[in-house]
Copies of this chain bind each other. A is one copy, B any other.
Amino acid sequence: METSDLKKAGLKVTLPRMKILEILENSETRHLTAEAIYRELLDSGEEIGLATVYRVLTQFEAAGLVCRLHLEGNQAVFELERGGHHDHIVCNQCGRVEEFFDETIETRQREIARQHGFSIKDHALVLYGDCDDSACPHRPV
């Protein structure tokens, strides 16, 4: 379970942390802003401060439990780290986020970095487009 992951990271197992993990696990979209997590906690009757949400998410990120994404908006979104690296496609209309992984792109990135004399440490790739209408509700969030 996750309590062990928390302890492994040197973090006490507290209610706010459990609740936040729970929300990240059960989220439909799997990509949530700190605000969204905060509101969901308030709605379910928890007494939590927004500062705690940000603090905990930052700690989770440092512990490798969570990834922080900077999409076009001004807010970062957080997703549970499930092991595999992946990049993202975002629908401009409904905000839906899908994940993908492509070895061809990964390989080319390494080659390009090498050509430029860089040792690549990380990368951020986000595709923006419109998803097909049938599957695209009007801004669900």
Contact = CB atoms under 8 A, between A and B. Distances in A.
B108 A127 contact: no
Contact of A102 (B100, B112, B124): B112
A54 interface: no
Number of copies: 2
Interface in A83-141: 89, 91-92, 98, 100, 102, 104-105, 108-109, 112-113, 116-132, 135
A12 interface: no
A47 interface: no
A96 to B, nearest CB: 9
A118 B104 contact: no
5 contacts: A98-B116, A100-B116, A104-B108, A105-B109, A123-B125
